[in-house]
Chains A and B, each alone.
Chain A
Amino acid sequence: MLAVNELSKSYDQEAMSLKDISMEIEKGEITVIIGPSGAGKTTLLRSLNQLIKDDQGEILIDGLDVRTLNRSKMRQMRRKIGMVFQNYNLIEPLTVLENVLHGTLGGKPTLLGILSIYSDKEQQEALALIKEMGLEEFAFKQCKDLSGGQKQRVGIARALMKHPQIILCDEPVASLDPKSATLVMDILRSLAIEKKMTIVVTLHQVELAKEYADHIIGLRAGSVVFDGPSSALDVAAIRTIYD
């Protein structure tokens, strides 16, 4: 589904943030990227949808190298990818429903987007997703009045509105309490299992990674130092990643 070959990236001449990264990510799995702060997790994740342009290497999505795409192809490619952020990036004064509907704006003619004209079908779908996330009583509330865990579920619903095949999550639970974190991770797991989505998540908590990941990639100083199923992540492996 998603393959990376010998990807390297440096923001400036001196330090390499990613060094010769190669990995394979499978459809319908949760792949978790772990590593100490500054290891390059965010850089790798943002390279996948070309928010960061790379120095060299190959990123193949469905066999297509995303680094060579022109503007309109890039737009098409990005429509297959949903993103979820640590700080949610919602429009706080708008309602939950409005934020979720923003997920459809990418494929809309500009004028309809400006006037926020959504079809009945889109609205039904948004409401259904909000219900799926357990937020139906908040659908018409402003996002600024929600808790962190609730906001993150709105963020996921917004990402799902564009029917992505891949969801990239950068530290989706880093600002959440353990209970909300588990709830969000459970949702991601059900998306992988039930909707066969490809989920890539960066995490700080090794425990959560072991519990939810099908596949774990350990980064350290820009290099892959672990790549395997979560059952293979033992104490020795954790040590090579973190100390």
Chain B
Amino acid sequence: MEQRAVIESQVRVRAKKKRRLNRRKLTINSVLTVLGILTIYTLATIVPAHFKVIEAVNEFMGNLKIMFLSPNVGNDTFSKLLSALGQSIYLAGLTTIAGAFGGFVMALLSANNLAPRWLSQIMKSLMASIRAIPTILWVLIYSVSLGLGADAAVIGLTFHSVAYLAKVFANSIEELPQDTIEALKVGGIGILPIIAQAVIPTVKSRLLSWTFIRFEINFANAVVVGAAAGAGGIGYQLYMASSFYFDFHEVGMIIYLILAFTFGLELVSRRLRAKFIEA
């Protein structure tokens, strides 16, 4: 008798849960439908009267064809474009190296097997809040005081790199067991020799891999920043060619250059990742 009551109440609870689930599904579906209809309606009405969709698509395809099938150096020389690419690489390299040094120090202060817990927590949240703001915004923030240009780009990129590398470095460092560090500590060994003799040898290859991966990210950032913040480099050339000279041949050329370099980076960093980070 009692058992039956228990079973019945369980059945009721389950039915209630199911109903709640159905209601949730219904809500989600109706919201999605309404949003979908609104999107289509807006897209359909946003098109101005003189805008001819088919012609526009044709023209776009034509431009793509110019860009990718007949790239050339346009107003500039090939060596000028190459040196602009070099500038972007240099910007990425400089900010990555500075970021790696800064990030390593911050990682030591935020790894929970090295730093006291309170410090580790403060550092981790600080780094997380810096990371939450995108690189390009940091560049713009610094350009308020430094003016748009290379200085703001270098500092903004470095700033975000430090916060990014601090996190991934700290994660790598935390894989060194607390016991191993403690074993050296009870031997009366100070924290700096422990870092030099135990931490660095253990995590060296992972840190270098992460640094390279950040270099890849910073190269992309350097291109964007070159266009958006006038920091020079290949991004600036791209901006000029596309928005100033409307030279789609040159735009194509520049995109191919960037693509080739990025592709190479991607190959190397994928290998490093497989070998040192995911192993």
Residues of A within 8 A of B (CB): 49, 51, 75, 78-79, 81, 83, 85, 87, 89-94, 98, 102-103, 105-108, 110, 113-116, 162
Looking at the complex, which one of B183, B190, B193, B196 makes contact with A83 (CB distance below 8 Å)?
B183
Interface residues on B, range: 20 to 34
Extra contacts besides A87-B179, A102-B197 (18): CB < 8 Å: A51-B186, A78-B186, A83-B183, A87-B177, A91-B197, A91-B201, A98-B197, A102-B187, A105-B184, A106-B189, A108-B193, A110-B192, A110-B193, A113-B190, A113-B196, A113-B197, A114-B193, A114-B195
State A90–B179 Cα separation when bound (angstroms): 10
| Total cross-chain contacts (CB, 8 A) | 70
CB atoms of A91 and B182 under 8 A apart: no
Confirm or deny: B188 has a beta carbon within 8 angstroms of a beta carbon on chain A. Answer: yes
Q: Measured between C-beta atoms, what is the minimum distance from A158 to chain B in Å?
A: 8
Known contacts: A91-B198, A93-B201, A116-B196. The answer to whether A105 contacts B189 by CB under 8 A is yes
What separation, in Å, do the CA atoms of A79 and B180 have in the docked complex?
17
Interface CB pairs A-B, < 8 A, 29: A81-B186, A83-B183, A85-B179, A89-B180, A89-B183, A91-B197, A91-B198, A91-B202, A93-B202, A93-B204, A94-B201, A102-B187, A102-B189, A102-B198, A105-B188, A105-B193, A106-B187, A107-B188, A108-B193, A110-B190, A110-B193, A113-B189, A113-B190, A113-B196, A113-B197, A114-B195, A115-B196, A116-B196, A162-B187
How many Å lie between the Cα of A94 and that of B184 in the bound state? 14
Cα separation A218 to B195 with both chains bound (whole Å)? 39
- The complex places the Cα of A81 from the Cα of B201 at a distance, in Å, of 26
When C-beta atoms are compared, the residue in chain A nearest to B179 turns out to be: A89
Which residues of the partner chain A approach B179 to less than 8 Å between Cβ atoms?
A: 85, 87, 89
Give complex CA distance A75, B186 in Å: 8
Specify which of A49, A75, A89, A90 lies most central, judged by the most chain B CB atoms within 10 Å of its CB: A89
- If A102-B184, A113-B196, A116-B196 touch, whether A89 touches B189 (CB-CB below 8 Å) is no
Q: Are A91 and B180 in contact (CB under 8 A)?
A: yes
Given contacts A89-B180, A106-B189, contact A114 B196 (CB under 8 A): yes
Q: Which chain B residues border A49 with CB–CB below 8 Å?
A: 186
- 1/0 per position for B169-180, CB-CB distance to A under 8 A? 000000001011
List 3 A-B pairs, minimum CB-CB distance, nearest first: A113-B193, A106-B188, A89-B183
Contacts of B190 in A (CB 8 A): 110, 113
Q: Is the CB of B196 within 8 A of A92?
A: no
Across the interface, which residues of A come within 8 angstroms of B184, CB to CB? Answer: 102, 105
Taking CB atoms, residues of chain B closer than 8 Å to A103 are 187
Residue of B nearest to A94 (CB): B201
With A and B bound together, what is the CA distance between A79 and B195 in angstroms?
20
Task: Select B182's contact among A51, A102, A107, A116, beta carbons within 8 Å.
Answer: A51
